[in-house]
Homo-oligomer: A and B are copies of this chain.
């Protein structure tokens, strides 16, 4: 019974239809939607809104703030053209196209920063928050589902809150969350977390129940993730990384159970994580923003003994597995607000090993995580810079070529810098690994070209570096050829000479 999930009795009379909820969204509003990397996203109300706009041929435009990417609802909203501005992250093909052809504004924002940007008034505040929940507690608090994301800050700041009570999400998720609320920056104390396994908050999101103007019942499941299987290249990358970590342990730079691990979104990071399955490492702890399929296999294999994140993003098979074994997984997983999972304070304190995927890296170690040819947005920076900038060991992984070999992911100069050379410690491709810690730019360039670039491009990269060296400087470049690889790709469809 749905009403059993609404334990604060006065709210039982607040159940409304998705269409009624959609009526509350008006042109020009800022809407905060739950959802983080496809999970726990608001679904039925945005869908009803899209339907309504189509049906009534309305010209409605709203600003949409989320935790991170949503599921299929992102594509539906983008297609319907109802979003004026969106932040902080997306990963949808249709939305990407709208952004790249200038039909939608996108702010590519560090995931940890959204909360403080709202608190400090740096951007317009949230009018309506629409958040998915598995239950409402006795106090009227909201129990989130498969992600926490920005739900606490959205519900705190919104003028009104609409809850999507999702019966397709198991009620047993209750208890997996740990909600810690940051104060205003002028009166804020330390975040007391010193161990990824620690609970520092409460299990539900506190909210004034009077702000909840409607509860919509839903049974739409999370859009499953579609990560690609590990392949020979990702297997080689994982091997490089494990070998490197083994060396770090041997030389006493890392303890045997390593440090807490963060691993990024997408196929590459997920595939690389699989490398730990056959490794000697056990008793690993994760402090990440999202847990993908690989983490569940690592938990099952006894490799990972605890994982903290802001969401679980799973393929269909793994989602079923989670649902079947939820009580067991709950002992090993905590989901937190993204302000906490991605907090610079905690990342530095805990001494994380951060493993994220790069789109391209340059010979000096600058990393592009977001833009194709410097101009076209893929997904966004997400939490990668929260982690990369503050981790103890910052690793970027990428295959040395993309698009069937027509693109070298090691280039003279990245066309967009998301992570500067100052923050990057180790680069891994299927070709090899470059540990650039403690190295000056000219030392780094040699390692990165020799170890990470694809043989098809290595000679040209060397020639660029040689020519640059003749011109001198701390970071030698030949500016008029800095983007020559990209220019060639733009005109010839391949970076190959």
Q: Which residues of A contact B (CB under 8 A)?
A: 85, 99-102, 105-110, 116-117, 120-124, 184-186, 188-192, 194, 251-253, 255, 259, 343-345, 348-351, 366, 371, 373-377, 381, 385, 389-390, 392-393, 415-418, 420-423, 425, 437-440, 442-443, 468-469, 471-477, 479-480, 482-483, 486-487, 490
Contact = CB atoms under 8 A, between A and B. Distances in A.
Contacts of A124: 438
B442 A259 contact: no
A244 to B, nearest CB: 13
A473 B185 contact: no
Nearest to A418: B420
Contact of A194 (B85, B190, B392, B438): B190
- The majority secondary structure among interface residues of chain A is loop
Nearest to A443: B105
A90 B458 CA distance: 33
Taken together, the copies of this chain in the complex come to: 2
A349 B190 contact: yes
Given A349-B190, A422-B109, A479 B475 contact: no
Contact of A437 (B101, B123, B390): B123
Given A116-B392, A190-B190, A474-B377, A440 B100 contact: no
B344 A392 contact: no
A252 B121 contact: yes
Given A190-B192, A479-B490, A422 B416 contact: no
B107 A438 contact: yes
Given A110-B422, A185-B259, A416-B475, 12 more contacts: A105-B443, A110-B423, A117-B438, A120-B392, A121-B253, A122-B393, A189-B194, A189-B349, A190-B349, A344-B389, A377-B473, A479-B486
12 contacts: A85-B440, A100-B472, A105-B443, A107-B440, A185-B350, A185-B351, A188-B194, A374-B477, A374-B482, A381-B422, A389-B389, A418-B420
